[in-house]
Amino acid sequence: MIPADFYKKVTKNPTALGPDDLITLGLHLIQLGVEIAGVLAVILVMLSGYNYVASGISESKEKAKSMLLNSLIGFAVCVFSWIIVDLVITFMTFENY
Candidate ranges 4-18, 22-36, 66-80; pick with highest mean pLDDT? 66-80
What tens digit of pLDDT does each residue of 45-84 get?
Answer: 999 988 888 887 777 888 888 988 998 898 888 888 888 8
| pTM as predicted | 0.65
Distances (CA, A) of 74 to 14, 39, 69, 70: 36, 12, 9, 6
